[in-house]
A and B are shown apart, each in its own frame.
Chain A
Amino acid sequence: MFTAWDKVLLARDSKRPRTLDYIENIFDEFIELHGDRLFGDDKSIVGGIARIENYVVTVIGQQKGKTTKENMERNFGMTNPEGYRKALRLMKQAEKFGRPIITFIDTPGAYPGIGAEERGQGEAIAKNLLEMSTLKVPIICIVIGEGSSGGALALGVGDKIIMLENSVYSILSPEGFASILYKDATKNREAAENMKITAKDLKELEIIDEIIKEPTGGSQNDIAGITSNVKKSIIKNLNKLTKINKDILLEERYEKFRKIGKIER
């Protein structure tokens, strides 16, 4: 049995499969598309058109590197505004051509930098949340590693929210939570337990819809195994979601987020 903190470490493990591993192993074809048409091409996000069985879909995912060099290139999976805007451009394109959207979430958070603020990090994330809630195509969001803060949520508004068994999804890192709320950054394990960040916790809280089982010891041990499990889930969900009337799909997506909140009335 892994503790919540063990899962944080697994989710961040450099050997853990990343977006490009899933793209390579799941889809029959993939054409990568680049740029937000406004500023640049953010390499922390990979996106493009892909084929899976009889479906043509748009795939967008955050990409961490496996080596330091790769991580420098990918900014450790920390997205800048142009990354969120590239994602939005590709999602709007998917809507235009009636393609379902699949997102892979894997980020320590949106990048906190001078340029990111100058270019409107808050606006970029906010716009994605607003637009994703009304895109007229099915959206499947899968947390494959670390889903941290608004930087993860900006790819996380959809019809099915799925987590891999050992992935984590949280408002901020357990270290951040510990240092701010416990005033002690070394209480990261305790924070991880209390924050309810594991797939099981979030399923119980009805924040996510589905958990995909990982191979024994974690996804890094069997990339073929985990990508096959993810593929099955994507196909199953596409089969269901593409049959739903678009108005109903959007109404259900709205309700899904509308009802989240723990309140006594």
Chain B
Amino acid sequence: MIIDKIKKMNPEDIQFSSKNEVAGDMLVGKWVKCDACKEILYKEEVHKNLSVCPNCGKHFRISSRRRIKQIIDEGTFEEIGKGLKTTNPLNFEGYEKKLESLQEKTKIEEAVTTGIGEIEGEKVVLAVMDGNFMMGSMGSVVGEKITLAIETSIKLRLPLIIFCVSGGARMQEGIISLMQMAKTSAALAKHNKEGLLYISVLTDPTTGGVTASFAMLGDIILAEPNALIGFAGPRVIEQTIKQQLPDGFQRSEFLLEHGFIDRIVERKNMKTELANILKLHRRCD
């Protein structure tokens, strides 16, 4: 029985499959196998440990709901940007159905949840992406919600934090998804001019058009340990250069080494670290 469940938890599926919508549900049943250290773990224990492997420290992917719970002071989160509905601009077959079934399964409207809340009493505008919803890909609604969050942060003169997890721009909406990169980046240019703080937090995986727009534009960029972060996906690079990629390529530690992120922060320290940065940026005016 246990073995059957473990078999179902093929680490390949959890890590790289495009059918990764199950990533957040990987802790189904009583036991799970860590795809990094292969240790068999008791689900409760992993859950209590913020979905980090107690044995090797592997940070498993988590839903936006859990992320918000881990970061935001209890009872302070007020969601904004609700009720926006994705359309099907390319008339891509099955797209609406796919969205509907995901909404039902994940209980969220789209691949990002936005709102206002407090972190150790510091008020912020927060956007949290969710890899369980079409790999956190950015289409019209994700682009719009991120932009609205940025604009709200400008209007209320509050710091902005975005937790990124994304496979990139959403292909099902074609060029309109691509243009969300320009839209969100232009909004951040305004935010920047207002002298407001933007902290970008990169989690596993952050790739493609999200990396090439708001993910990389933080005043301060944090990342969880060993997150895959890059523009091109590893398989595309391998196919292009016809070489195997070096160990640790495009992982958080690699980006830190090359100067593209500020700090690697473990999940258990994330809230405190964010609170500290926010306090250092508290405005005197």
Interface residues of A (CB under 8 A from B): 110-114, 116-123, 125-127, 129-131, 133-134, 149-150, 153-154, 156-157, 169-172, 177, 180-181, 194-197, 202, 205, 207, 253-254, 257-258, 260-265
Contact = CB atoms under 8 A, between A and B. Distances in A.
Nearest to B260: A120
A177 B171 contact: yes
B260 A263 contact: no
Interface in B177-194: 177-183, 185-190, 192-193
Nearest to B95: A181
Contact of A262 (B89, B209, B233, B254): B89
B51 interface: no
A112 B236 contact: yes
Interface stretch (B42-50, B111-119, B121-129, B238-246): B238-246
B212 interface: yes
Contact of B217 (A112, A130, A154, A258): A130
Nearest to A112: B232
B237 A113 contact: yes
Nearest to A261: B140
22 contacts: A112-B231, A112-B233, A113-B240, A114-B243, A114-B245, A114-B249, A117-B231, A121-B212, A122-B216, A149-B178, A150-B178, A154-B212, A170-B178, A180-B18, A194-B92, A195-B175, A196-B90, A196-B174, A261-B144, A261-B176, A263-B85, A265-B84
Chain B interface secondary structure, helix, strand, loop or mixed? helix
B255 to A, nearest CB: 8
A250 to B, nearest CB: 10
A170 B231 contact: no
B147 interface: yes
B91 interface: yes
B226 interface: no
Pick the most buried of A117, A127, A149, A261: most chain B CB atoms within 10 A of its CB.
A261
Interface in B53-104: 83-87, 89-92
B174 A121 contact: no
Contacts of A125: 181, 212-213, 231
Contacts of A116: 231-232
A129 B181 contact: yes
B176 A258 contact: no
Interface residues of B, number: 64
Given A112-B240, A262-B140, A265-B84, A207 B176 contact: yes
B144 A126 contact: no
B16 to A, nearest CB: 14
Interface of B: 18, 83-87, 89-92, 140-141, 143-144, 147, 169, 171-183, 185-190, 192-193, 208-209, 211-217, 229-233, 236-237, 240-241, 243, 245-246, 249-250, 254, 258-260
A123 B173 contact: no
Contacts of A261: 140-141, 143-144, 176, 179-180, 183
Nearest to A265: B84
B200 to A, nearest CB: 10
A122 B90 contact: no
B192 A130 contact: yes
Given A110-B231, A126-B217, A180 B179 contact: no
A197 B176 CA distance: 11
Nearest to A81: B231
A118 B258 contact: yes
Nearest to A148: B178
A194 B93 CA distance: 10
Nearest to A154: B212
- The 9 A-B residue pairs whose C-beta atoms are closest, nearest first, are A112-B232, A122-B211, A133-B186, A129-B185, A261-B140, A264-B85, A125-B212, A122-B231, A121-B231
B215 A195 contact: no
A122 B89 CA distance: 26
A263 B231 contact: no
A219 B185 CA distance: 34
